[in-house]
Amino acid sequence: MLVRLDRKLAVPLRAQLEHELREAIRSQRLAAGERLPSSRALATVLGCSRGLVQECYSQLLAEGFLTARGGSGTRVAAGAASVAPTVADAAPPVAGLAVDFRLGRPDLASFPRGDWMWALREVTRSAPPSEFGYGDPRGTRRLREVLAAYLRRVRGAVADPELIVICSGFAQGANLVYRALARDGVGRIAFEDPGHVEDRAAAAHRGLATASVVVDERGIDVDALAASGAGAVVLTPAHQSPTGVVLAPERRQAMAHWADEHGATLIEDDYDSEFRYDREPVGALQGLAPRRVALIGTVSKSLSPSLRLGWILCPPTLVEAIAEEKHGDDHGCPTLNQLALGTLIESGRYDKHLRRMRSIYGRRRQALIDALGLHAPDVQLQGLAAGMHAVARLPDSLDEQVVVASARERSVGLYPMSRFRANGDTRPPQLALGFGDLSEASIWRGIEIVADLLQPR
């Protein structure tokens, strides 16, 4: 398959590959029903990582350009040539945006380099020779013990080191759980709507049927979930992503009851539990239903995505299958980084770093509130109790896609809520605004640049 990637461009390779495949499908150079190369084969030809190709395929699956079924491979979807261009495709990622309100990105400049170097030196000096072998694919015993204590103390979880599997982040953790569930006979998995479409695409890529369940002001609708026929659900109960709502107490109870009654699994994404502002911390749902919940956490937001470290606190019935899947993937995550993380947590330096970052993100959150209050008072902010992003409810007269495209022309990255909705609906018009990796001055400057675009028409 002829695909051109230019490594001299500032545009990321994944964005280039997505653009090339979309254009090949729209021009019918790739016809409906045509099978694409496997992710491994295409990665070999292009000289890139298999993960990059898998992410690209997952995105195009979510957009409706591709379909995937077990045993049939990945194929061009029927009618894909007529799929309308998305805002992201019409305006490919541009290097050097003046201000980028992208979600899910922590303050990369605040990574605690000194503490991490200290932790690495400590474990390199003191680790016994046995730690330099392949080790347990579930992760080092020391880190699993430290994490179990941490999750009990901070998240109110029912945590046992024997039930923890170390992974390389949420994506791998979720995929391990999906595969273990498929082995256990689960055929359908539900996702929050709005939610992250790439998560749905990843499950579909594993051969699982997916269902979208609406989220309202009290969290995921448990009655709708029960009617979906799903045997598992992925959810963000402490701070729903992206709306920011907290799963109401009665729904937490109903969720646990549903899982018990149907023998279902709750996959809890604990993605930003460390950063709360206006409310007391909300305990993990796993603490309410430990035999039914797979709790997945990472240090991608608290420290850095580059560490590729996370964990799965598994239900007892799935831990062996998940550990086997992990062993089949990569034989385990890098041991020295695991030991360094355990040392960082045990020393208290991790908690100290989190306290510092809460203060930094709190000031940036307030800057966003103040900037919109001054320059765009008709915009309503929601989902600010925790995390590093907010949802901006635009005046009904605005079109979120037009606002996003116009802002991009001014070198400001804004992101529409429609990209998180299963059906791509643009009503009501909303934006998801990340502030984690933006200075207070940048937040003010970005809002000032696009302020007129946010006014009622």
At 188-242, the pLDDT tens digits run 999 999 998 888 888 888 889 999 999 999 999 999 999 999 999 999 998 889 9
Summarize pLDDT for 36-75 with one digit per residue, the tens.
Answer: 999 888 888 888 899 889 888 888 887 778 888 777 788 9
Clarify whether residues 104 and 155 are in a common domain. Answer: no
Residues 220 and 253 in one domain: yes
* CATH number of the domain to which 49 belongs: 1.10.10.10
Helical packing angle, 440-450 and 349-375, nearest 10°: 30
The answer to whether position 122 is within a domain reads: no
49: which DSSP letter?
-
Short-list 205, 202, 193, 136, CA closest to 174: 202
Please indicate, yes or no, whether residues 60 and 180 belong to a single structural domain of this protein: no
Distance CA 379, CA 154 (A): 35
**Contact criterion met (CB below 8 Å) for 267 and 252:** no
For residues 58 and 68, what is the distance between their CA atoms, to the nearest angstrom?
10
Domain boundary among 347, 364, 386: 347
- Per-residue pLDDT of 80-114, as tens digits, reads 765 545 444 444 444 568 899 999 889 988 999 99
| The last residue of a domain, from among 308, 327, 347 | 347
Return d(Cα 259, Cα 179) in angstroms, integer.
Answer: 19
Tell whether 194 and 256 lie within a shared domain.
Answer: yes
* pLDDT tens, position by position, 291-331: 999 999 999 999 999 999 999 999 999 999 999 999 998 88
Buried-state track 339-350, b at ≥16 Cβ within 10 A, e below 16: bbbbbbbbeebb
First-to-last CA distance in the chain?
46
Is 6 inside any structural domain? no
Q: How many folded domains does the chain comprise?
A: 3
Domain annotation covers residue 93? no
Place of tokens 């392949």: 134
Let me know if residue 45 belongs to a domain: yes
The region of weakest confidence among 133-137, 246-250, 363-367 is 133-137
Residues 103 and 61 in one domain: no
Q: Is residue 238 part of a domain?
A: yes
CA separation for the pair 427, 418 (Å, rounded): 8
53 is written with which tokens? 């190709």
Indicate whether 35 and 167 sit together in one domain. Answer: no
230 occurs within a structural domain: yes
CATH classification at residue 430: 3.90.1150.10
Instruction: Round the CA-based radius of gyration of the chain to a whole number and report it.
Output: 22
What does the block give as tokens for 226? 């029960």
* Pair 308, 380 in one domain: no
Assess if residue 431 is contained within a domain: yes
Q: Are strands 389-393 and 430-434 parallel, antiparallel or unpaired?
A: antiparallel
Give yes or no: residues 139 and 265 share one domain: yes
Identify whether residues 264 and 240 lie together within a single domain.
Answer: yes
Cis peptide, bond prior to residue 137, ω within 30 of zero: no
369 lies in the same domain as 342: no
328: domain CATH number is: 3.40.640.10
Same domain, 104 and 142: no
Domain range for 292 is: 127-347
Q: Which residues pair with 213 in a beta bridge?
A: 192
What is the C-alpha separation between 417 and 57, in angstroms, rounded?
21
Least confident of 97-101, 271-275, 282-286: 271-275
Same domain for 168 and 259, yes or no, is yes
What is the predicted pLDDT for the residue at 184? Answer: 92
Token output for 171: 């994506």
Of 324, 347, 370, the last residue of a domain is 347
The whole model's pTM is what?
A: 0.77
5 belongs to a structural domain = no
